[in-house]
Amino acid sequence: MDTMIQLYMEETEDILQKAEECLIKLEAEYSVDDINEMFRIAHTIKGSSHMVGFEDIGNLMHKIEDMLDLVRNGTIHFDQNIVSLCFKGFDMVKKLLQNKKEDTGENGRLADEALRLGETIESLIYSNKTPEKKAAPEQQNTGLVSSLLGKNAKGKNRFYISFFIEKGTPMVSPVFILILKSIESIGSLIFCSVTDSDLEGFSGEETRVLEVILSTDIEEAELYTYFALPYVEKINIVDLTRSRLEQNDYCFNDTDDTSYLIFLKVFIKLYDMLFNQPDGLKNNKTQHKKIRSLYNETINAYNKVNNKNRLNAFIRDLKELFSIILEIYEEQREAAEEDYSNIRAQMMKLTERAYNFIKGKHLFKVFQPRTEGFIDRLREFVGMLNKSTTLIILINLSGLEIISEDELKALIDIKNQVRARDIEICIVAQGPNARRIVNIFDSIKRFEEFYLFKSEIEAVLWMLYSQDSFNRILNKVNEIQI
């Protein structure tokens, strides 16, 4: 069973047990706290069910959530009929889960029963509303969350995103609103863990996590730039398109940006010393001391990183590489050609691993236009960058068939603007339209030259191991550490 589905099953079964306990108490005596708890349970199951693609469960829970929301707002009167419908609803969820787990062949029948139960709940909602309260739900629809959820979903990619707000943030509602506004600018909101009424009541402590499902044409690596917002401490993105669950917390922390910049400087300096300098791996005390210093600098930078979870394996392998290099010096032996070849290969692999982890998050920003007329979005994207720590913007034009003359002129202007901040723009073109894109940039080479590559990793490797890049990275590290 898929990891995400397994996790969903386990959590939903635990929540259903809590729902049953809560309903038993409500059956005996009405309680505002219990109604609120039941509402949260229905809301949670609805969101997680839509996340894993169990629309039948998610839709039924949506009906129960609506019913309980109107009960707690006083729009409809609470009675035993509502308790009974809740019991039937959660019992139906158990049956649907069991069928999905064991594939009993009852899916069609159970789906029909769930649909009919949902229609019954909807009928109760509209037949029991008190006249004076009828306007309340319509007023709620004017809020930001309701407005975004009410729009048609657009975009080929779906992401489940958790935003973690920094402790001590004075008010979380404005931060949530900034996040939702960013979502509005790049895609469609499919699910949101907070409601419009929630946004009005949050202060600084009650809720520090916002969970959403976003539908968008933008790729994951691009999203980090859009969501690098004030007071957002870290973000976790699950790509639902590939049904892939990873612990991929990314901390929007200036200290982390600086640490990754130092890692990169150390790595490039090590490569420069071993393969570009005449001493290389020769038995040389001064060289030995310099490499030992680089090793210590790596460890110090790692200790300052806020989120080490995904970095541990990389640092372990980097330590092993340093160990192999230092061992050659400490044994006072001449390095063979095989030593150089193995070390170079390991460094290339580590570089590719590091890029795949930090692309879009630290140092390397990725922008991928899919249609003509992308310049306005590119300008907006560049305006959101942390320009002190961004090294390269990789513009992947593989999805385009042509670039207009106006777009080319604008691209040159943007390139010159960011180059003044020591940020390089690299063009990536691959696939069936690559030759056409390359020809366009070749035609202007006499006036303005762009770096062109067949893949992102090819661009990164070329940039990192050129002397020009090495000097610019050193300048940025020195500038930040002042």
Mean pLDDT of 288-314: 85
CA 371, CA 362: separation in Å to the nearest integer?
26
Q: What is the pLDDT of residue 410?
A: 92
CATH of the domain at 88: 1.20.120.160
Q: Which range is least confidently modeled, 50-54, 155-159, 382-386?
A: 50-54
- Tell me, yes or no, whether 442 and 455 share the same domain: yes
- Tell me, yes or no, whether 392 and 455 share the same domain: yes
Question: Which residue has 């106006």 as its token pair?
Answer: 406
- Tell me, yes or no, whether 93 and 10 share the same domain: yes
Q: Which range is least confidently modeled, 156-165, 311-320, 366-375?
A: 366-375
Q: What is the percent of the chain where pLDDT is above 70?
A: 90
Integer-rounded Cα radius of gyration of the chain: 28
- Tell me, yes or no, whether 402 and 475 share the same domain: yes
β-pair partners for 216: 157, 187
Count of other CB atoms within 10 angstroms of residue 163: 25
- Tell me, yes or no, whether 35 and 85 share the same domain: yes
CA 360, CA 222: separation in Å to the nearest integer?
6
CA 226, CA 64: separation in Å to the nearest integer?
34
Helix (H, G, I), strand (E, B) or coil at 238: strand
- Tell me, yes or no, whether 383 and 472 share the same domain: yes
> Exposed, middle or buried by CB within 10 Å (0-12, 13-18, 19+), for 331?
exposed
Angle ∠(257,361,408) on CA atoms, nearest 5: 110
| CB 151 within 8 Å of CB 144 | no
Residues near 374 by Cβ (< 8 Å), separated by ≥ 6?
Answer: 400, 407
Q: Among 225, 221, 249, 222, which Cα is nearest to 235's? A: 249
Q: At 342, is the pLDDT very low, low, confident or very high (cuts 50, 70, 90)? A: very high
CA 155, CA 369: separation in Å to the nearest integer?
13
| CB 151 within 8 Å of CB 190 | no
CA 115, CA 137: separation in Å to the nearest integer?
23
Q: At 141, is the pLDDT very low, low, confident or very high (cuts 50, 70, 90)? A: very low
- Tell me, yes or no, whether 195 and 109 share the same domain: no
Q: What is the pLDDT of residues 69-103, one digit of tens each?
A: 888 888 888 888 888 899 999 999 998 888 888 77
Q: At 138, is the pLDDT very low, low, confident or very high (cuts 50, 70, 90)? A: very low
- Tell me, yes or no, whether 62 and 154 share the same domain: no
Mean pLDDT of 400-411: 89
- Tell me, yes or no, whether 201 and 223 share the same domain: yes
Q: What is the pLDDT of residue 320?
A: 92
CA 117, CA 289: separation in Å to the nearest integer?
74
- Tell me, yes or no, whether 281 and 211 share the same domain: no
Domain boundary among 140, 164, 191: 140
Q: What is the pLDDT of residues 223-237, one digit of tens each?
A: 999 998 888 888 988
CA 171, CA 414: separation in Å to the nearest integer?
36
Most confident of 164-168, 239-243, 370-374: 164-168
Taking phi first (over 0 means left), then psi (-120 to 50 degrees means alpha), and beta for anything else, what does residue 155 get? left
Count structural domains, the chain: 4
The answer on pLDDT for 140 being more than 50 is: no
The pairing of strands 424-428 and 187-192 is unpaired
Residues near 78 by Cβ (< 8 Å), separated by ≥ 6?
Answer: 30, 35, 71
Mean pLDDT of 401-418: 90
CATH of the domain at 432: 3.30.750.24
The answer on pLDDT for 459 being more than 60 is: yes
- Tell me, yes or no, whether 267 and 353 share the same domain: yes
How many C-alpha atoms does 43 have within 13 Å on its Cβ side? 17
- Tell me, yes or no, whether 114 and 191 share the same domain: no
Direct distance between the N- and C-terminal alpha carbons of the chain, in angstroms, rounded to an integer: 52
How many C-alpha atoms does 212 have within 13 Å on its Cβ side? 24
The domain of 109 spans: 3-140
Domain boundary among 113, 140, 167: 140
Domain boundary among 235, 251, 267: 251
